């Protein structure tokens, strides 16, 4: 672990594939979720066809998403796994089409090394690994070779966890960062996601949100992925499709705690909540004056 003096609102230039970069820190950045799957927990089937996926991506970009995160396998609890070939058939045509559009930044949501390699070759700029480079460690070498951006996520699935959810973050993500270092991934290419859900109960998710500042000890920008998660339903009593206001609320809370990137389904609601958070931060002198 390093970076105890990390300043989350100062500029961090995130290094991405194909010579691209993205500034993190001074303004909240939105990553729009594009699930090209029939069975994702919130929007399964909505973007399953290529034309629907492209239209959804363009709409999210117009609403304020800087990154489109394309996933071809549902990560909801109990979801049926798909083959690598099926995952690739779903995501690669969409990634290729999106990457051809001027200014578009594309992320691929995968833990498979071969899917990541093909997605980066198709034009993706970022690999978002929900297993934190630990399911298929060969993915780290793929990311390093491409000079790609990397979202390294914490998960509590399929392993023993420490009782303290924040202590478990450090135990797991320190291992992930060691895998990244061994493969030669530049620290300027890495952002960390504490993985809301993914083996955590509703109380642990709330403890994680309350203690976000501790994670700045890693010295890397952070991602908040609370969108429509089950713990928000526990708090609000809302069903999956009615949790966008709660998602925006958690995003604003996380932004005030220094989180850089927000992975969401509903870009518009989160954009407005994050704009308010950034304005408050600017008024308090934590970041430059809001535009």
User: Known catalytic residue: 263?
Assistant: yes
What pLDDT was estimated at residue 229?
A: 95
Cα–Cα distance for residue pair 280/285, rounded to 1 Å: 9
Encode 78-96 in three state secondary structure. Answer: CCCCCCHHHHHHHHHHHHH
- Contact between residue 37 and residue 44 where contact means Cβ atoms under 8 Å apart: yes
Cα–Cα distance for residue pair 36/27, rounded to 1 Å: 28
Q: What are phi and psi of 174, to 5 degrees?
A: -60, -40
User: Known catalytic residue: 229?
Assistant: yes
What pLDDT was estimated at residue 210?
A: 95
Buried b (16+ CB within 10 A) or exposed e, 251-286: bbbbbbbbbbbbbbbbbbbbbebbbebbeebbeeeb
Q: What are phi and psi of 67, to 5 degrees?
A: -130, 140
Q: Where are the domains of the chain?
A: 12-283
Please spell the DSSP secondary structure of 22-57, one letter per residue. Answer: EEESSS-EEEEEEE-SS--TTTTTTT-SHHHHHHHH
What pLDDT was estimated at residue 41?
A: 46
The structure tokens 């061994």 sit at 182
Is domain 12-283 annotated with CATH 3.20.20.20? yes
What pLDDT was estimated at residue 219?
A: 97
Please spell the DSSP secondary structure of the chain, one letter per residue. Answer: ---TT--TTS-EEEE-GGG-EEEESSS-EEEEEEE-SS--TTTTTTT-SHHHHHHHHHHHHHHT-SEEEEESS--STTPPP--HHHHHHHHHHHHHHHHTSTT-EEEEE---HHHHHHHHHTT--EEEETTTT-SSTHHHHHHHHHT-EEEEE---TTS---SSHHHHHHHHHHHHHHHHHHHT--GGGEEEE--SSTT--HHHHHHHHHTGGGGGGG-S-BEE--TT-HHHHHHH---GGG-HHHHHHHHHHHHHTT--EEEES-HHHHHHHHHHHHHHHHHTTSSSPP-
For the whole prediction, is pTM greater than 0.85?
yes
Q: Which of the residues 243, 255, 263, 271 is marked catalytic?
A: 263
Q: Which of the residues 27, 90, 228, 229 is marked catalytic?
A: 229
What pLDDT was estimated at residue 267?
A: 97
Tell me the average confidence (pLDDT) per consecutive run of 10 residues in the chain, 291 residues long: 78 98 98 82 56 92 97 77 93 96 95 98 98 97 98 94 94 98 98 95 95 96 96 96 96 98 96 98 85 55
What pLDDT was estimated at residue 1?
A: 42
Q: What are phi and psi of 70, to 5 degrees?
A: -100, 120
């Amino acid at each position: 672990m390093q970076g105890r003096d990390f300043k989350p609102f100062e500029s961090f230039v995130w290094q991405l594939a194909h010579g691209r970069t993205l500034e993190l820190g001074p303004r909240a950045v939105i990553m729009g979720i594009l699930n090209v799957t029939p069975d994702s927990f919130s929007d399964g089937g909505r973007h399953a066809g290529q034309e629907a996926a492209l239209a959804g991506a363009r709409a999210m970009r117009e609403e304020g998403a800087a990154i489109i995160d394309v996933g071809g396998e549902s990560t909801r609890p109990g979801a049926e796994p798909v083959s690598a070939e099926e995952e690739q058939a779903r995501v690669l045509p969409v990634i290729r089409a999106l990457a051809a559009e001027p200014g578009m930044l594309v992320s691929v949501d995968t833990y498979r090394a071969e899917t990541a390699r093909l997605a980066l070759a198709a034009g993706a700029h970022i690999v978002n690994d929900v297993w934190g480079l630990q399911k298929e460690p060969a993915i780290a070498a793929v990311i390093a070779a491409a000079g790609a951006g990397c979202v390294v996520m914490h998960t509590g699935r399929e392993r023993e966890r420490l009782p303290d959810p924040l202590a478990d973050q450090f135990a797991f993500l320190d291992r992930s960062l060691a895998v990244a270092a061994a493969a030669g991934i530049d620290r300027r290419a890495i952002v960390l996601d504490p993985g809301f859900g993914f083996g955590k109960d509703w109380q642990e998710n709330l403890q994680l949100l309350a203690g976000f500042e501790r994670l700045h000890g890693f010295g890397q920008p952070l991602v908040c992925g609370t969108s429509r998660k089950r713990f928000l339903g526990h708090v609000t009593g809302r069903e999956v499709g009615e949790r966008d206001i709660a998602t925006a609320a958690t995003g604003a809370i996380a932004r005030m705690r220094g989180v850089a990137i927000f992975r969401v389904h509903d870009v518009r609601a989160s954009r407005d909540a994050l704009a308010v958070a950034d304005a408050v931060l600017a008024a308090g002198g934590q970041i430059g004056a809001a535009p």
